[in-house]
């Protein structure tokens, strides 16, 4: 009996020490969403279970090794035990009970994470190799006093604090995965039509700057598929949305740079002369370009326009076709295309 008491006390002491360490150690990133609180609560349950079972097994083994080891001079064999029906029933029933309890807790946690808010802000997320783009819908006033809806497109995910955000996500090419570690939850982003659009709900609760990462191996520059996430106050978000809802009032070159960043062009086309997934834009205009079919063309205005709206028509030698999105003729207005061309021309 005394052995059971000693082992029990050691298991309790080990469980408390290890459990407190695991639940208080900086193992997980900062909590920055309501969903993170729920997920971390479930994590802590698992940490305590891990601490208990690790302690239970380790204490029994070490106690047996040191207390019941054969002493010097002892002879004979130990007692032979073939089975114990009661013990086997107990250690089968208890794990089943734990699994069932965890299933109920997991279902409750999932329901809480996916809780819907009727006033959620909707953001359309577009993933492609290897950039993220985010689109908002904003109301703007025309000169005639009419209120119209316009899209705000950006490469930075700006979110208001303490308001649920519905992310509607789609991919232009391969499977990606939207993941912000501080938010805890992630979602695969699938290519295809509207039936493959995936949704993720997040309620940011801490202002700050975070990073979107792709959690699915998606190609050569998977490691660099990052985007900034800014969590701001509701007033700051409204001001940002109003500022970006209007047309670009800068010069053509500056607007072109804005669109090139927003639509992820600079993720593949460097501005410094370095070779990337696509040809560099530095010094491109006016120079001869060798194509994959063996021909040579001059990078004039027509060439630049074609390269944007029909990128597979003139693939540069040494680069792969099909990597650049094929729908910029639809996603961009003609004015935006011309402004991007003006920006490329300026890079001499």
Sheet containing 208-214, strands listed edge to edge, beginning at the edge strand earlier in sequence: 157-160, 226-232, 208-214, 176-179, 186-189
Q: Give the pLDDT of residue 142.
A: 52
3-state DSSP helix/strand/coil % of the chain, to nearest 5: 45, 20, 35
CA angle 199, 203, 209 (to 5 degrees): 105
State the burial class of residue 262 (Cβ atoms within 10 Å of its Cβ: 0-12, 13-18, 19+). buried
Q: Give the pLDDT of residue 139.
A: 63
State how far the alpha carbon of 244 is from the alpha carbons of 60, 210, 267, 322, in Å: 64, 21, 22, 31
The gap from C-alpha 57 to its chain's centroid, in whole angstroms, comes to: 37
- Is 284 in contact with 347 (CB distance < 8 Å)? yes
CA angle 75, 76, 77 (to 5 degrees): 135
Dist CA 245 CA 25 (whole Å): 43
Dist CA 87 CA 89 (whole Å): 5
Query: Residue 306 pairs with which residues in a beta bridge?
Result: none
CA angle 96, 97, 103 (to 5 degrees): 90
Q: Give the pLDDT of residue 165.
A: 93
Q: What is the pLDDT of residues 231-242, one digit of tens each?
A: 999 999 888 888
Q: Give the pLDDT of residue 147.
A: 54
Q: Give the pLDDT of residue 150.
A: 66
Q: Tell me if the domain spanning 121-245 has CATH number 3.40.50.1110.
A: no
Backbone angles phi, psi at 96, to 5 degrees: -60, -45
Q: Report the 3 state secondary structure along 281-314.
A: CCCCCCCEEEECCCCEEECCHHHHHHHHHCHHHC
CATH code of the domain made up of 252-346: 1.10.760.10
Tokens of 30: 């900062």
Average pLDDT per consecutive 10 residues, the chain (348 residues; last block may be shorter) = 85 92 88 92 92 92 84 72 84 91 90 88 88 79 56 85 93 91 93 88 94 91 90 90 73 84 77 80 87 86 89 85 78 86 88
Q: What is the pLDDT of residues 119-135, one digit of tens each?
A: 889 998 988 888 888 88
- Is 201 in contact with 116 (CB distance < 8 Å)? yes
225 three-class SS = coil
pTM over 0.75? The answer is no
């Amino acid at each position: 009996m005394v052995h059971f008491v000693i082992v029990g006390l050691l298991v309790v002491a080990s469980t408390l020490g290890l459990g407190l360490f695991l639940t208080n150690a900086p193992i997980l990133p900062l909590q920055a969403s309501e969903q993170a609180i729920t997920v971390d609560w479930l994590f802590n349950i698992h940490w305590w279970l891990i601490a208990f079972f690790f302690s239970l097994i380790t204490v029994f083994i070490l106690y047996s090794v040191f207390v019941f080891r054969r002493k010097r001079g002892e002879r004979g064999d130990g007692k032979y035990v073939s089975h114990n029906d009661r013990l086997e029933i107990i250690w089968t029933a208890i794990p089943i009970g734990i699994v069932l309890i965890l299933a109920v807790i997991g279902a409750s946690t999932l329901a809480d994470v996916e809780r819907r808010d009727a006033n959620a802000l909707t953001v359309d997320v577009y993933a492609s190799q290897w950039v993220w783009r985010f689109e908002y819908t904003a109301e703007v006033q025309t000169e005639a006093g009419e209120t119209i809806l316009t899209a705000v497109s950006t490469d930075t995910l700006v979110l208001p604090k303490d308001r649920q955000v519905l992310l509607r996500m789609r991919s232009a090419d391969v499977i990606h995965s939207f993941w912000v570690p501080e938010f805890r939850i992630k979602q695969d982003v699938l290519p295809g039509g509207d039936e493959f659009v995936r949704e993720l709900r997040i309620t940011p609760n801490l202002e700050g700057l975070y990073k979107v990462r792709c959690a699915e191996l998606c190609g050569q520059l998977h490691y660099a598929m990052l985007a900034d996430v800014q969590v701001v106050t509701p007033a700051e978000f409204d001001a940002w949305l109003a500022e970006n809802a209007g047309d670009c009032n800068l010069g053509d070159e500056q607007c072109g740079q804005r669109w090139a960043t927003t639509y992820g062009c600079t993720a593949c086309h460097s501005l410094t002369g370095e070779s990337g997934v696509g040809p560099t834009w530095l010094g491109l205009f006016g120079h001869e370009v060798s194509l994959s079919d063996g021909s040579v063309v001059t990078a004039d205005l027509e060439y630049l326009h074609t390269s944007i709206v029909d990128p597979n028509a003139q693939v540069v030698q040494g680069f792969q076709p099909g990597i650049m999105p094929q729908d910029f003729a639809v996603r961009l207005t003609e004015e935006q295309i011309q402004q991007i061309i003006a920006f490329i021309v300026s890079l001499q």
